[in-house]
Structure formats: structure tokens, C-alpha cells
Amino acid sequence: MSVYSLILVEKCMLRLSGSVFLFACLCAFSQAAVSHGTHAQAFALSGRTQKVAQKSVHVASASSQEHFLLGSEVVTSALLFAAAGKTGNKNGLTIGLITNQTGKDQRGRRTLDVLRKKGISIARIFVPEHGLAGTVKASHDVVDSLDEKTGIPVISLFGNGSGKALDAVHLSDLDLLVFELQDSGMRHYTYISTLFLVMQAAAQYNKPLMILDRPNPLKHPMEGPLVEPELHSFISIASVPVRHGMTMGELARYFNAHVLEKKVDLHVVAMRHYNRLQGLPGKLPAQLSPHLQSKEACYGYSFLGLLGEVKPFDVGLGTEYALRSVALPETVRVPHTFWVDLAQRLKKIGVHSKPLRFYSPRKKLQCTGLFFTLSDPALFSSFQVLVSILTFMHKAGVPLIFSAAFDKAAGTAKLREYVQGDFSRALLARQVNEQLHRFYEEAKTSFLYTPAPKVVFFSDKVQ
């Protein structure tokens, strides 16, 4: 295996005092040439117009993850100062950091602490749903506090069951906003929604925004419905596929180019040696939330998140099987072959499982169902699995009660209507697939990594 040293010169446009200037960022790095395929690397600093001179170096992908670097491991003080429009380090730099317990490097160090060691002054920490430690339950208010280690004020961006916008009081003294959150890969997980609100505020108050990019744990598949206009909410804040196949940095670029009315002075620090097929190397940096504690739970969440909005399902919340199982209370009578039949049906579409029985602390009942053994999220279609479980249950006579949030999280009422027998599968497939195709074509210029997301079309035939 030969090693090639490459110099990546980035020419980035920044806006300072109403004028635009060019500067060059020299990033020297080595990449390994190996037998499997080419891998496009981009160190991105994307500016207001999304037309920044941005050069990608095309080299062979690395065979070892030891050279993989997160955006937070790539960023330097010079890049932070440049993004803020400052040419030198003399006057200091004050930032606001949007992060939580997932904002760590591969050595487990908080990005918050690493930036402070670089001499960056962090005036405020802004936190999403679940709080700075990721321990606040879903939909519960996150309160303002202080970071125990540093004493830095922690400002909540979630309350009253929805996101909260950043305001002028919290932004006026900041030179730059820096965003780093580990996403789950699903649109209805609200860290994406927090990103969107942060971008709106950055645009409104003319604050540059830097994204320290992280992997998508669900890898490259892109599938499922987009969001119908009347269903926009905090769990469906922008019309992207329910399983989007993109990183936070790529989503930010897409929002800036195609969704936001006022553009952001946006800077994305891309990962180095990242191949979309590898997903998230190693383990999660920390639990994403009280119930989303592992990569395997993220894989399950890709279809169980929506199933959790349908009664009488139990998806194991409050147990060791959280978001890795589906079950019914034993008070719901089903045929004796019910779970075996469902397991066989799901096995045909790439999802393996085994029988499970547990006590549900939420329902205070014994439940019986399936525990999913999911090792690779690229081996199954989350949307197909969701539809298969729902239609199987409906045909078996299980009374399904959809929550008010289901249509919003799905992005469409047509899925629920199809399951209930009020909408045809052919029409659902046509709507979903046409929207997916249009989105993919529009989003192409926002992609930073290879391979590009793989569009998974929904079959108009029952599988």
C-alpha cells in the first residue's frame, strides 16, 4: 500500500465589512491508496453564496479508520478566526457553541474543552432537546444552567415541547457560532430541527456559522416521504427524506441553498477520510438521548421511532431493549403463529429478529414480541420495514391508533391512510418516489462525501 501526500488549497470567500475577499487555507495531509475505489475528500468552507471556491481531492479511500478525522479534529484556530472574518489572533475570538454530550472527539475529549485549549473564548453553550448531558426525557423542558466543569452559561434551545430560537441578547457579543451535534440519521430526530433554527437565527442576526461535521450512523440509503407543506413542525422542520442519508454539514448546505429565505455565512468543516459506506466508525460518542444509547438503537429507531407513535405497540422504552424491539401487551390477543410469521416476513427484507418477552414499565404490562439483531443499516429499507410491520398488524386485526404526531413525523398522511386501507400503495409509491428523485437531483451540489447517498425507491408491490 503506497501513501501519497497531498496539499489541499481551499479558496474561500468571506464577507468582511461589506466587502468580499479571498484567502487560501493550506491543509497538508496524507491519504492511503488502497484497492477499493476512489474516495473524494473535501475540506469545505462554504460561504454565503454557496459558490465558494471549494476544491475536492480525489484519492483512494483509506482502508483503516485510524486516519479518519471528525470535523472537530480537523478544525484549527486559524480556520475559526477566518470564518469569523478576523485576519489575526490579536483581538481574540468569542463564540457560541451549539453542542451536547455527543460533541466529543475520538479520544473522548469534549470539543468544548478542546476549543478552549486553543485559546477560543466560549461565551455561551446552546443545547438542544435532551440537554447538555443527554439525560432529559423526550419532549420535556430543558432549562438554562451552567456547565459544571467550566462555569459557562448553558442556554436551552428546547421548551414547551418544541425548539426555541436564538435571540439577539444571546448573539450580540459573538463573533461566530459553532455547531456540533451527532445526528441519528432520521429527519424526525430533532437535532436537525435545532440546526435549522440556528441557521435561521444566524442569518437574521448576520452571524457566521461553522458546522463541525460528523458521520451519519445510518450510512448512505436515502428513502421515505418528504414533508407535505401542511405538516411542517419541529419534528418535520424541512422537506427532506425521512431517512436522509446525509450528514449535518450536507444538510446545512442544502438548507442554505434551497430552503432558507435569507442565506447564512456558512462554513462546513468536513471530515477527513470519511466514506459514507462506513457510517459511524466505532461506538456513539455518547448516548444521543435517554432511549437512544447505541448505534444499534439508531438502526432500530429508523423504523421503530415512527412505530412508537402507534398504539398498542411497545418499542421497549424504559428497558434494555429500547428502540431495538417491537412488542404488544399480552392483553392483545393474536394468533399463536403471529410473531413467527412477522419474523419470517421481515427476514425476507433484511431484518433478523428473535422472540422476546419483557415487562413494560410504561404500560405496566407483560409484552411479547421481537428483538431485532441489526448489524448493518444499509442491508434494509427502514421505510419498507415500517410499512411491512404496520400492514401486517392491520391485516391481523390489531387495532392501530395513530398519535397526532405520526403524520408530522412521517411527513405525510398518505402512509397512515394506506395502512388503514384508504389510499392505494401504487399512489403512495408514486408520490414518495417522485419526491425522492426530485430531492436527490436538487441536493447533489450539497454532498461532500463519496459515494453519494443511494436513493431507495418504495416498491408499489407488497413484498
What count of Cα atoms within 13 Å lies in the side-chain half-sphere of residue 329? 11
Say if residue 244 is in the same domain as residue 344: no
Please check whether residues 169 and 123 belong to one and the same domain: yes
Among candidate residues 278, 306, 334, the one where a domain is terminated? 278
Let me know if residue 358 belongs to a domain: yes
Pair 220, 378: CB distance under 8 Å: yes
Q: Which residues of 123-139 are buried (b: 16+ CB within 10 A; e: fewer)?
A: ebbbbbbbbbebebeee
Q: Is 270 helix (H, G, I), strand (E, B) or coil?
A: coil
Strands 209-212 and 176-179: parallel
Task: Please give the pLDDT value at position 462.
Answer: 85
Give the per-residue pLDDT at 88.
Answer: 65
Domain boundary among 278, 307, 324: 278
Same domain for 104 and 137? yes
Q: Which residues contact 169 (CB under 8 A, 6 or more apart)?
A: none
d(C-alpha 455, C-alpha 240), whole Å: 12
Sheet holding 325-329, edge to edge: 325-329, 365-373, 352-360
Handedness of CA 367, 373, 377, 383 (dihedral sign): negative
Residue 360: per-residue pLDDT: 96
Residue 238 covered by a domain: yes
User: What CA dihedral angle connects 49, 229, 449 and 262, to 10 degrees?
Assistant: 20
Domain for residue 398, yes or no?
yes
CATH number of the domain where residue 345 is located: 3.90.1150.140
CA distance 207 to 186: 27
Same domain, 342 and 257: no
Q: Tell me how many domains the chain contains.
A: 2
Say whether both 308 and 345 belong to one domain. yes
Give bridge partners of residue 329 from the DSSP assignment.
Answer: 367
Residues 306 and 247 in one domain: no
Residue that is last in its domain, among 253, 278, 303: 278
Name residue 6's amino acid: L
Q: How far apart are CA 119 and CA 81, in angstroms?
A: 11
Q: Are residues 210 and 272 in the same domain?
A: yes
Q: Does 461 reside within a domain?
A: no
Residues 208, 347, single domain; the answer is: no
3-state SS assignment for residue 101? coil
Q: Is residue 335 part of a domain?
A: yes
CATH number, domain of 54, equals: 3.40.50.12170
Q: Is residue 249 part of a domain?
A: yes
Asked if residue 406 and residue 308 are part of one domain, the reply reads yes
Q: Are 324 and 244 within one domain?
A: no
Give pLDDT < 70 ranges for the chain.
1-66, 88-90
DSSP label of 135: -
Strand 209-212 versus strand 266-269 pairing type = parallel
Give the residue numbers spanning the domain of 404. 295-423
CB 180 within 8 A of CB 71: yes
Question: DSSP alpha helices (H): ranges in 325-374?
Answer: 338-347
Torsion of CA 103, 106, 107, 108, to 10 degrees: 30
Domain presence at residue 462: no
**How high is the pLDDT of residue 89?**
62
Same domain, 259 and 301: no
Are both 142 and 244 inside the same structural domain?
yes
Q: Is 437 among the domain residues? A: no
